[in-house]
Structure 1
Amino acid sequence: MLDTGYTINGVRERLGGVAAIALAREETVPALRATRDGDPLGTLIRLWWLGVPVRAPGWLPVAELAASGLVTAEGDLITSAVHLQPWETGGYLVSDRKVRPGDPALRTDHVVGAGGASANLAQLVSRRPVESALDLGTGCGVQVLHLAGRAGRIVATDVNPRALELARLSWALSGIDGVEAREGSLFDPVAGERFDLIVANPPFVISPRGRFAYRESGFEADGFCRDLLRLAPRALSPGGTCQLLANWLHVGGEDWRDRVGGWLTGTGCDGWAVQRDVQDPAEYVELWLRDAAEQGTPRYRELYDDWLGWFESMDVTGIGFGWISLHDSGSLDPVVRVEEFAQRVELPVGEYVDEVLAAVAATHRLTDDELLGARLTVAGGVVEERVGPPGAEDPARIVLRQTRGLRRSARVGTVEAALAGVCDGDFPLDPLLAAIAELTGENLADLRAKAPGALRPLLAEGFFHISTG
């Protein structure tokens, strides 16, 4: 298939922007027009990506594909029995065919292909090599494609036996062998085992009942993600990391940060949760009814009303989506951080996520005296913005902004801004504060008392680093 150009880039170039955007709206006509020449690449896109019958070309091993269950043949026409998509790693993923409006209803054991959530998790996961990795809820096997090459041993689990069947095909087509595939829920298939890295794109959709195994667990509300996090430490090796995607409820009278933070507290691990998006209940229901191609069906209004009523019974005001990471640091004083990012971040996060987790934990455990004695440096890519009337002696607002990584911004005072201008790792913080006090006339004792509290968040958020040189 590589010889035909059936790769991620090959498909993108062939379809073009208009057809790709139309497919996102479930409109196939532009893509069919772009692939109507009957050449090898166009034929494979129609067969595997668009799921339409094609005339069997002589260069395609139809009998072998039919025997593997990948296509069905009738006369000189062949139809894909699965969705076979190239992936960004250079491999291929096998899943059930994408269901579009007007298609038959999803089977309950439907295996979804890789999409935005799969890509989000792959971008989040740490890039450090590990001896052992667990892909919990592997689905079509996409995360294994990313783990291969940096994990010595990989175990992949799923509650759906059909998912494991198609995942094995994905791995075989991608040249990956040795993956241990096991059936079961949560950590039951790996009871008693420990892993350096656990990744999960779990069935996080929050619905009244679990109708589809690929997205819904059947647990009450958002309880599946909560229980996954509480059980994960038992399967982590010392120093191990668990990273997953999750949905959580926003409930009237409750701060969602307390809800998610409560999941992390008590695990014995350092925890970091980031909300990347939040939807109102109606928007959320519409998204997942469209996902199952149920929009426009006779049951649509009934399902919509039932789902909304269920949310209302729990006083749900919104549903959050985001990342969660656990790190078994071995500390008796684990730290939990819960925050929200609306901004675009530098990808892949996995290139620097270990540094983010380490900064949050180290800053939490640093005493005031240790901080005053530390040599600080300003992180690369941090810029300063000053806002105020033209010609004013003092700015109305000073902001430190990261142009790399998580691209956070922080409003700071003149002392923190002054330190950002002089912290190069050569001198400890305390003598720098003394120099600032002498220049500004501020009381040194007050600066020493206030500096740790002002700088600690900036260290935790990566604006400053502690120099080890």
Structure 2
Amino acid sequence: MTLPVPDPATAAALRTDLTAAGYTADAVRGGWGPLADEAVGHGLHGPALQALGERADPVAVLCRLLFLGVPVEVDAVDAALPDCGAGGLVRLGLARVDEGIVVPLALVRPQDFADASGSGQWWIASDLDEAALRGALPTGHVLGVGGASLTLAGLQMPGPAGRVLDVGTGCGIQALRARRDADAVVATDISERALRFTALNALLNGIDGIEVRRGSLFEPVAGEQFGRVVSNPPFVITPRAAGVPEYEYRDGGLAGDELVAAFVTGVGAVLAPGGVAQLLGNWEYRDGADGLDRVREWVAASPVALDAWVIEREILDPLGYAELWVRDGGTAPGSPEYARLVEAWLDDFAARGVTAIGFGYLLLHRPASATPSLARYERVTQPVSAPLGAHLGAAVTAWQRLQQLNDAALARTVLSVAGDVTEARHHRPGEEAPSVIELRQGGAFGRVLEVDPALAALVGACDGDLPAGLLIDAIADLLEVDAGALRADLLPRARELLFTGFLEFAESPAVAPAAPVAYDL
């Protein structure tokens, strides 16, 4: 396959043309409508092409050529891209010209983004997808912006970050996101093709400070340390069997879940004290053992002591997992090849006694004190609508502060209920007292907690006025229970509500952290 060529001058010309053409995500969606847009997401290009019809305006031309990967006449491309032209696309390795027709070799799609610093748009170049190729993907395929990459981009915590390492950068979407907060980013990958796309996408969006290096995991940065590490690694569990495609973008070349294990045990060495690593991963459930316990073992095996917050979002059985990734490679269900590949996956899982596969988010922190204080392994499977980066950052900051407060100090602290929290009370017919009281979180992970009347009363009274201890004493008086016993019961649960975002500190801490990047838990 032709390698992308990250030529600065030509990339700048293409950026100018895409801007002038108004080639934005809104323009694309508006050009073919919501139904066709959904069809494109399912790999069906027909409705979009039909909606574009005979339109010859720049957006329509770019939609065909760069979004859908459909060949277009040279004259139409030159008109849509007056500075770059078809020749510029050829110089960038994004297209070739055959007898007056521009044949795309890659896609360039607009991608909206939003974070704590604001919103905007990038153009992301990547390899042609299955619909454009009309068949299975080549093993060296560089993926564009998919669901997993958007999830991880939304998980990145806001705030100044110093140097950031992006491991397994792919098309570079995580590096672009990290650079918005970081002074510099080092992006690594085993694929030269991926690194070329990352460098090109940085140029295409006018972003400096991203250095690309080739190599596996932490080899390219041995001896260096970073304030943050982010990774959407090739974590997909793939059979090490003849005839099973090894896609670089998803398969790290190791057996089972060893790639994620290697990341977890090795990342501490490249984290600066106080630094945070965030990644997505899969882990196996073997012979009935809990998959989260397996991740816990990886963290414990790290030579560098780590805090860990691991959130399992989904569990698949071996058949469901196999079918998911066989389809992802473009192999059609019902074909003999599909059956052969699924069986290879099932045989591989059976050999290790795998009964299920978990997927989730990992947040790992290197404490400055070398003494971990956070070991949280949980399942949160309800749908989440908003990016979680700000919530994760607030949770880590709350935990940092809570470590400095014993129960007596927490009792002297003023708290307030978060603005997205509501309360629901369920009554049995004819009964005055509620049988169930729930606290519901509108943002973050959308948690729903069943609470008792005392905790509900404390949350309801936290209005940023009185310290928590005085509120608990008043609640004890109303319930006619011992105030000391109620404090011992409610204060630990208030800590949990502060971490999960139901409660907030109403006033700033007396001493702010010296360095925003250092989350010393």
What is the TM-score normalised by the length of structure 1? Answer: 0.93
Comparing 19-28 and 411-420, the one that deviates more:
19-28
1:299-378 equivalent positions in 2, closer than 5 A: 299-331=337-369, 332-345=371-384, 347-360=386-399, 362-363=401-402, 366-378=405-417
Q: CA deviation at 1:102?
A: 7.5
The answer (yes or no) to whether the contact 2:317–2:356 under 8 Å persists in 1 is yes
The whole-number CA distance in structure 1 between the counterparts of 2:477 and 2:338 is 71
Asked if residue 293 in structure 1 is aligned to residue 330 in structure 2, the reply is yes
Comparing 227-236 and 364-373, the one that deviates more:
364-373
- Counterpart of 2:235 (choices 204, 220, 230) is 204
Cα distance, 1:438–1:166 mapped onto 2, change above 3 Å: closer
Name the residue aligned to 2:192. 161
Name the residue aligned to 1:279. 316
The answer (yes or no) to whether the contact 1:387–1:398 under 8 Å persists in 2 is yes
Counterpart residue type for residue 46 of structure 1: R
Cα displacement string for residues 417-443 of structure 1 (whole angstroms, at most 9, x for unaligned residues):
111122234433333332222222123
Counterpart residue type for residue 20 of structure 1: D
Asked if residue 31 in structure 1 is aligned to residue 48 in structure 2, the reply is yes
Cα distance, 1:391–1:234 mapped onto 2, change above 3 Å: same
- Counterpart of 2:258 (choices 223, 236, 239) is 223
Q: CA deviation at 1:270?
A: 2.2
Q: CA deviation at 1:364?
A: 6.2
Name the residue aligned to 1:51. 69
1:125-164 equivalent positions in 2, closer than 5 A: 125-164=156-195
Cα distance, 1:73–1:42 mapped onto 2, change above 3 Å: same
The whole-number CA distance in structure 2 between the counterparts of 1:232 and 1:430 is 41
Cα distance, 1:450–1:150 mapped onto 2, change above 3 Å: closer
The whole-number CA distance in structure 1 between the counterparts of 2:414 and 2:200 is 53
Q: CA deviation at 1:150?
A: 2.1
- Counterpart of 1:246 (choices 281, 285, 296) is 281
The whole-number CA distance in structure 2 between the counterparts of 1:464 and 1:112 is 40
SS at match of 1:87: strand
The answer (yes or no) to whether the contact 2:179–2:209 under 8 Å persists in 1 is no
Cα distance, 1:343–1:187 mapped onto 2, change above 3 Å: same
The whole-number CA distance in structure 2 between the counterparts of 1:285 and 1:361 is 40
Aligned-residue identity in percent: 39
Q: CA deviation at 1:163?
A: 0.9
Counterpart residue type for residue 199 of structure 2: R
Unpaired runs of at least 5, structure 2: 1-17, 113-119, 509-521
Q: CA deviation at 1:30?
A: 0.5
SS at match of 1:146: helix
Cα displacement string for residues 277-330 of structure 1 (whole angstroms, at most 9, x for unaligned residues):
222222221121111111255422111111112112223232222211122332
The whole-number CA distance in structure 1 between the counterparts of 2:470 and 2:41 is 58
Counterpart residue type for residue 69 of structure 1: G
Q: CA deviation at 1:346?
A: 5.1
Q: CA deviation at 1:185?
A: 0.4
Asked if residue 192 in structure 1 is aligned to residue 223 in structure 2, the reply is yes
Counterpart residue type for residue 244 of structure 1: L
Name the residue aligned to 1:422. 461
Unpaired runs of at least 5, structure 1: none
Counterpart residue type for residue 85 of structure 1: R
Cα distance, 1:179–1:102 mapped onto 2, change above 3 Å: closer
The whole-number CA distance in structure 2 between the counterparts of 1:345 and 1:146 is 20
Counterpart residue type for residue 415 of structure 1: A
The whole-number CA distance in structure 1 between the counterparts of 2:258 and 2:418 is 38
The whole-number CA distance in structure 2 between the counterparts of 1:15 and 1:327 is 45
Cα distance, 1:401–1:307 mapped onto 2, change above 3 Å: same
The answer (yes or no) to whether the contact 2:161–2:228 under 8 Å persists in 1 is yes
Q: CA deviation at 1:367?
A: 3.5
Name the residue aligned to 1:262. 297
The whole-number CA distance in structure 2 between the counterparts of 1:370 and 1:270 is 24
The whole-number CA distance in structure 2 between the counterparts of 1:98 and 1:122 is 21
Comparing 204-213 and 114-123, the one that deviates more:
204-213
Counterpart residue type for residue 63 of structure 1: G
Cα distance, 1:373–1:67 mapped onto 2, change above 3 Å: closer
SS at match of 1:165: helix
The answer (yes or no) to whether the contact 1:272–1:357 under 8 Å persists in 2 is no
Q: CA deviation at 1:239?
A: 2.1
Name the residue aligned to 2:8. none
Cα distance, 1:357–1:261 mapped onto 2, change above 3 Å: farther
The whole-number CA distance in structure 1 between the counterparts of 2:473 and 2:181 is 48
Cα distance, 1:435–1:111 mapped onto 2, change above 3 Å: same
Comparing 264-273 and 35-44, the one that deviates more:
264-273
Counterpart residue type for residue 220 of structure 1: A
Q: Please report the RMSD computed on the Cα atoms of aligned residues, expressed in angstroms.
A: 2.2
The whole-number CA distance in structure 2 between the counterparts of 1:449 and 1:434 is 11
The whole-number CA distance in structure 1 between the counterparts of 2:34 and 2:321 is 27
Comparing 27-36 and 154-163, the one that deviates more:
27-36
SS at match of 2:130: coil
Counterpart residue type for residue 96 of structure 2: T
Q: CA deviation at 1:375?
A: 3.1
Cα displacement string for residues 128-172 of structure 1 (whole angstroms, at most 9, x for unaligned residues):
122211111111111222223321111110011111112222121
The whole-number CA distance in structure 2 between the counterparts of 1:20 and 1:260 is 38
Cα distance, 1:25–1:434 mapped onto 2, change above 3 Å: closer
Cα distance, 1:337–1:44 mapped onto 2, change above 3 Å: same
- Counterpart of 2:439 (choices 394, 400, 408) is 400
Asked if residue 446 in structure 1 is aligned to residue 463 in structure 2, the reply is no
Q: CA deviation at 1:191?
A: 0.8
The answer (yes or no) to whether the contact 1:264–1:336 under 8 Å persists in 2 is no
Q: CA deviation at 1:15?
A: 2.1
Counterpart residue type for residue 74 of structure 1: D
Asked if residue 213 in structure 1 is aligned to residue 252 in structure 2, the reply is no
